[in-house]
Structure 1
C-alpha cells in the first residue's frame, strides 16, 4: 500500500499518470490474471506512440460516458477497449462488445459509490475522535490551571509561615516544588527530619477543612467485632498452692511500665515454682533517677489480698533469711544469666534447684525474662489477672488523675467507661458532686510521644540534627548504654537510613503531627501529649502546637502545687500519663515498641468494650511516605497515610508469642461472646 497515493479502507485506487486504473476484489483467479493483462497492455500503450488523445479519435474508441460526480471514465474505457483488441486477448469473453463494457463500468461506479460512503463514515469517526481528544486536552488544561492556583496559594501560605515562624525560615519557601514541574524534584531536598513543606501544606489543609466533617471511623473501632470480647481474667479455676518451697525476690529495672511487666511475670514465676513472692522492689535507674518503690505507685494491700487465692505474697523475707549473703551462696540471678523471654522449663531446670537448696532466689533486673508462649492456660490467665485487676494506683495518684481527666474533658460530673478502673472511688465521688449532666463532655485525643533522649539514643537513628545531634547521642550512649556503644564500634550495624526504611525509628514530633493531620483530626481537637519531656525540648513541640493549638500536657493542666507531690518521681508522673492516655476517646501511639503504648492499648481493649480506638501506625509504610516529603502533594499524602493506619485497625486475636498485655483478645484474658 506504500505506493498508493489514495486509499480508502482496503479498496485501493491509484493514479498512473492520466489514466485511472481500478482494482476489484474477486475469488476468481482468472479475474486477477485478466486484470493483470489489462494493466500490462495499458502500460505498453502508454509507452508507445499512441497517446490518449489519438485513441479518442480512433474508430475503435468507445462512446464517451456521461460525466458523473465520481470523475470522467473516458480514458479508462479507452484503455479497456484498446487492451481488448491487443494481441487478440479476450477478457471474461465480454470486453469485445459495447454493452459488456458499459456493464463493467456501471459495476465499478457502484463499487466506487459504496467506497465513498464508507469514506464519509470513516471521516465522521475521525472527526468524533478529534473532538474527544480536544475535550480531553481542554479538561486537562482547566485542571492544570486549578493546580497552579493551589500552588500559588500554598506558596503564599509558605511565605506567611516564614514571616510568622522563624523556624520555617529557609526551609519552606526555598524548597517548594512547583506543581507544573518548573523546578525539578530533588534539586533542593529537605534534610532528614525536616518537614517544613509538609507542615505548611498541613496547616493550609487544616484551615480549609474546618467546615468539612471528620472521617467516620476516626473516633471508632469496629464496634460489633470488638465488643464481642468481654473481660474474664478474674475467673479462677484452681486452688491456692499449699507447698512453699522458698521465697522469690524480684528487683525490677526500667521505668514504671517495664516494672509493671516484671511484677506480673514474677507472679507467674512464683506460681510455677510453688514459692512465696516477696513484694517486688524497683531498682534505681541512672536514666529515670526515681527512688519510688512498689507501695509509692500501687496499692500494696490490694495487690496482696487479690492475688492470695493464686500465690502467697509477703512484704518482707523472714528474719532467718534476711541475714543471708545471697550473692555468696549463689542465690542472685541477673538478666545476664537468663535469656530474653526464657521458657518455663529453664526455670524448672536451673532456678528450682537453687530455690530448694537455699530457700530464696533474688532476681536482679528481670526485664522481659519470661516467654509468652508456650505457657499453660492458667498461668497465662494469672498474668492477665495481675495486670488488669491486681495493680491499682495509690490514692494520691488516683485523685490527681481524676482531676486531670476532668480538665481534659472540660466538664465535672462525667466519668468515662474506664475511669473506675483507673481512678477508683474518685470517679464515683466526682459523679456524686454533679449528678445532672446537661452537656456532653468534650472528646480528646491522647498521643504518646516516645521521643525521650534514651529512646532516641537507643534507636541508633538520625533525626535531622546533623553533627551536633550525632555527637550528643554518642556521648549519651557511652554513659547509659555502654554495651550498645561498644557494639556500635566493634560491629557493622545497619545504617540510620536502613533502620528508618524498615520502620525501626520512632516517629518524630513532626511526623506524628503530620500523621494526625492527614488522618483528619480537626485543628480544634484537644490533644493530650504524654511523655512531654521530649528530646529537643519545647522547640521540638512547635510543630505540634502550630497545627493544633489545643495541645496540652499534664504540666499545663495541673498547677505547680498539684504536681508538687510527684516532682522528681518519674514513675509516678508516668502513672498520670498512663491515666490520661488510657481514658481518652482515641489514643495514638508513635512507637509500637514502647511499653506505655503497649500497656495503654491493651488496657483500652480489655475494659473498653470495643469503643476505645487506638491508632497504631505502620512505621515502615509511613517511612516510605515521608521519604517523598519534598514532592508529594497533600491529597496523595492523606490517602496513603489513612490507608497505612486503617490496615492496623482490624480486630485481631493475640498472635502467638506476642504480649498478652498488649493483645488481651485471647481465651486466657477475655471471653468471646459473639
Structure 2
C-alpha cells in the first residue's frame, strides 16, 4: 500500500488538491467567537484557606490540572498557591510552573477571579499536612467529581486546617453539571491566563518562521508567541514563496502510548517482549489486570479503533486525503517508538517532513534538552499555529488541547483532521487487496465525517470542545442545540 501511495503522489503532482483539504466549514465555524474573558462576578477573597496542587503527567495533563485547580479554588473560596508539577519517571522533566508559563501574568490575569500566591504564608509552611489529614490524593477523589463533592468532603478539611494539598491532582472535576461562571473560569484559565514564557515563545516563533518560509504571521501567533509574533516579520524585504502553508501532524506513538494500548504493531516476538518489560516497570497495575482479567485481543482492540495509528498508517491517511508530495509537514511528538527508521516511510513519501529537532540547530535546542514539557510546549505552539492540523489519536491531551485552541481562536479558518480510527481500521485491514482509488475514497469519507461543526457534547471537555456558551458566543440563538 505504501508503494501505491508513493505512485499516487508521484503521479498527482499536477492534480488539484481537494477543495476542503485546508478548510473548515467556514460559515458554521466562524459564527463562534471567544468570550470566556467576559466576567460577571466579584473577586474571591480566598478566605477559607490555601490550596496546594501537585499535578502529575506531562505538560498537557498538567495544564488541565491547573485549570481545574483554579475552578476548585474559586468554588471553595480558597487562595491558590502556584501549582507544582510532579517529577515523572515517564516524562523525566523537573520543570515547574514558572519554567513553562508566565507566573506573574497568570496571577494578575486571574486576580478578578481568585487570589493566587507564590507560596504558603510562613506560619503554615511548617505544618505536617499528612499528619493533620490535609493531603488528598487522586485515590481520595472520584474521577470527574461534581462540585458538591468538594463542598461536602474537602471544605470541612480546608477550613479547620487552613491548607489542603491535592497530590497528583488531575482529571478530578466534572464538566457537567457545573455552575455557568465556574465553567467559564476554566475556559478563561486555559485560553487566556496561561502564556508560555519568553524563552519558549521566542524559539517557537523561530520554528514558525522556518516552517512558513514567508513573512506573514498567522492568526493565532499573537496568542501563542506574544510579542515574538513581530519577529516573524523581520525579513520584510524577502519575497514570499508559494505553497508556504504547512500541515502539522501529532504522531502519538511514543513507547508509553504503544505499551499501554496492548496492541500489536508488526514487530513480532521482540516487540512483545520489549513492551511487556516496559509495562512491568511503568504500568504494573495494567500487568496485574492482564493476569487476572480476560482482555480483548490486539486484533479486537484494533477493530474497535483503540490502537494508535502507526506512522505508516498516518502517512497513508495523508496521501489518501490528497496532500501533495511537496506538502511541508511538521511532526510533533518525541521519541517515536521504533526510532528514526519508523519515520522513513513518512520521509520517503513526504520529503518536506521536519521535526523541531531538525529545524533547530544544536545550540538553539540546547536550552530545552532534558525538559520534555518545554519541548512539548514548542510542539503545542507549532501545531496550534499550523494551516491544518492532523492527529493520529483523538484521546491524546496534546491533540485535544491543540484542536480546542484552534477552535477557540481560529475564527473558522483552522481545520483539524480527526481520524475515525474504527472506520480506518476496517479500511487498513483490506489494504493488501484494495485498489488505491477505492482506498482513497473510503479514507476521505471516513475523515470528512469528523470535520463537522458541533457544540460541546454533555460531560465532555471544554478544553477540547469550547463551542459552548460558557466559552464561546454564537449569534444564532439555536446554536447550542445543534449537533
* TM-score, length of structure 1 as denominator length: 0.70
- CA–CA distance in structure 2, aligned partners of residues 401 and 388 of structure 1: 18
Aligned match of 2:292 in 480, 485, 490?
Answer: 490
1:111-130: CA deviations, max 9, x gaps? xxxxxxxxxxxxxxxxxxxx
1:276 aligns with 2:96: no
Q: Which residue of 1 aligns with 2:6?
A: 203
Q: Which runs of 5+ in 1 are unaligned?
A: 1-197
- CA–CA distance in structure 2, aligned partners of residues 654 and 343 of structure 1: 18
Q: Which residue of 2 aligns with 1:595?
A: 397
Shift of 1:265: 0.2
Indicate if the aligned counterparts of 2:423 and 2:446 stay in contact, CA closer than 8 A. yes
* Structure with bigger RCO (C-alpha 8 Å, 6+ apart): 2
Choose 245-254 or 339-348, whichever is displaced more. 339-348
Aligned match of 2:245 in 440, 443, 447?
Answer: 443
- CA–CA distance in structure 2, aligned partners of residues 438 and 209 of structure 1: 25
Indicate if the aligned counterparts of 2:392 and 2:418 stay in contact, CA closer than 8 A. yes
Shift of 1:596: 0.1
SS in 1 for 2:270: helix
Q: Which residue of 2 aligns with 1:293?
A: 96
1:20-55: CA deviations, max 9, x gaps? xxxxxxxxxxxxxxxxxxxxxxxxxxxxxxxxxxxx
1:450-498: CA deviations, max 9, x gaps? 0000000111111111111111111101101111111111111111111
Q: Which residue of 1 aligns with 2:30?
A: 227
SS in 2 for 1:424: helix
Q: Which residue of 2 aligns with 1:338?
A: 141
Aligned match of 1:571 in 364, 373, 394?
Answer: 373
Indicate if the aligned counterparts of 1:232 and 1:671 stay in contact, CA closer than 8 A. yes
Choose 303-312 or 465-474, whichever is displaced more. 465-474
Q: Which residue of 1 aligns with 2:480?
A: none
Shift of 1:324: 0.6
Shift of 1:386: 0.2
1:122-146: CA deviations, max 9, x gaps? xxxxxxxxxxxxxxxxxxxxxxxxx
- CA–CA distance in structure 2, aligned partners of residues 665 and 586 of structure 1: 19
Structure 2 vs 1, CA of residues 438 and 538 (structure 1 numbering), >3 Å: closer, same or farther? closer
Q: Which residue of 2 aligns with 1:519?
A: 321
1:648 aligns with 2:450: yes
Indicate if the aligned counterparts of 2:206 and 2:232 stay in contact, CA closer than 8 A. no
Q: Which residue of 2 aligns with 1:633?
A: 435
1:424-451: CA deviations, max 9, x gaps? 0011243366288655670100000000
Q: Which runs of 5+ in 2 are unaligned?
A: 477-483
Q: Which residue of 1 aligns with 2:257?
A: 455
Aligned match of 1:415 in 217, 223, 229?
Answer: 217
- CA–CA distance in structure 2, aligned partners of residues 524 and 403 of structure 1: 22
Query: Where does structure 1 differ by over 4 angstroms across 4 or more consecutive aligned residues?
Result: 435-441
- CA–CA distance in structure 2, aligned partners of residues 508 and 439 of structure 1: 32
Indicate if the aligned counterparts of 1:532 and 1:553 stay in contact, CA closer than 8 A. no
Q: Which residue of 1 aligns with 2:339?
A: 537
Structure 2 vs 1, CA of residues 243 and 524 (structure 1 numbering), >3 Å: closer, same or farther? closer
SS in 2 for 1:292: coil
Residue-pair matches, total: 476
Aligned match of 2:42 in 217, 239, 244?
Answer: 239
1:218-239: CA deviations, max 9, x gaps? 0000001100100001000000
1:564-597: CA deviations, max 9, x gaps? 0000000000000011100000000000110000
Aligned match of 1:367 in 170, 175, 181?
Answer: 170
1:137-192: CA deviations, max 9, x gaps? xxxxxxxxxxxxxxxxxxxxxxxxxxxxxxxxxxxxxxxxxxxxxxxxxxxxxxxx
RMSD (Å), alpha carbons? 1.2
- CA–CA distance in structure 1, aligned partners of residues 161 and 242 of structure 2: 60
Aligned match of 1:673 in 472, 475, 483?
Answer: 475
SS in 2 for 1:305: helix
Indicate if the aligned counterparts of 1:414 and 1:441 stay in contact, CA closer than 8 A. no
1:300-339 paired onto structure 2 within 5 Å: 300-339=103-142
* TM-score, length of structure 2 as denominator length: 0.97
Aligned match of 2:158 in 342, 355, 362?
Answer: 355
1:380 aligns with 2:183: yes
1:424-439 paired onto structure 2 within 5 Å: 424-431=226-233, 434=236
Indicate if the aligned counterparts of 1:523 and 1:547 stay in contact, CA closer than 8 A. yes
- CA–CA distance in structure 2, aligned partners of residues 338 and 662 of structure 1: 23
Q: Which residue of 1 aligns with 2:195?
A: 392
Indicate if the aligned counterparts of 1:410 and 1:441 stay in contact, CA closer than 8 A. no
1:41-72: CA deviations, max 9, x gaps? xxxxxxxxxxxxxxxxxxxxxxxxxxxxxxxx
CA radius of gyration, larger in:
1
1:516-557: CA deviations, max 9, x gaps? 000000000010000041000011101101110110000111
Q: Which residue of 1 aligns with 2:418?
A: 616
- CA–CA distance in structure 2, aligned partners of residues 440 and 415 of structure 1: 15
